[in-house]
Amino acid sequence: MRHDRPLSSAYQVLHYPDPDKLGLRVRHTVAARAAAQNWVRRHAARGISNPMAAAEIANRASLIAWELMENAHRHSHSGAPDQTLTLMLERSRYLLSITVTDAGPTPGCKRLSFPEQKSHGGGLGRVASLSFYWDWDGCAGLPVTVKARIELP
C-alpha cells in the first residue's frame, strides 16, 4: 500500500466496520514501529479476563508485530522515507491474527524476495516460535502480506 502524503505522527489508526478488526498505517521509522508495538500490546489482550494470560498474549503479539514490521521495513519499499506499512489485529473466538502488509518491492529490485524462515532464528524464525502458525500472501512485484496467529485462552 503506497500513500502520497507522509503521516504527521508515528501511525494513523485505520477504522474497520468489524469491531474485532483494528489497524494502523505505520511510518518507516524505528520510533514509529516502537509506538505501533506499544499499540499492539495495549489492544492484543483486550477482553481476556485472566491477567497472566492477557500479559502473555500482549507480549507475544507485540513481539510478533515488531518482527513483521522490521522485516517489511528492511526488505520492501516500506523502509523508504515517507513510506508506510499496514498493521492489523483481527480477533476471532480462539485466534488473534497479527498481519503486516508492506509497500511492495523496492524500485529497481532485480531479485524477487518472498518471506522465508531462516535457520538463524531471527525475523520469521522468531515469529514461528511465538505463534502457532504464520503464512504470507502476495505475488511478484506487488505488496506482500504476512500473517501470524496466536491461540487465545
Average pLDDT of the segment spanning 93-114? 79
Gyration radius of the chain over CA positions: 15
Q: What is the CATH number that goes with domain 11-108+115-151? A: 3.30.565.10
Walk across the sheet containing 84-91 and list its strands.
11-14, 21-27, 84-91, 95-101, 145-151, 133-137
Greatest mean pLDDT among 16-25, 106-115, 140-149 lies in 16-25
User: By percentage, how much of the chain surpasses pLDDT 70?
Assistant: 84
Q: What is the pTM of this model?
A: 0.87
The 10s digit of each residue's pLDDT in 28-87 is 899 999 999 999 999 999 989 999 999 999 999 999 999 999 989 888 888 888 889 999
Percentage above 90 pLDDT, the chain: 61
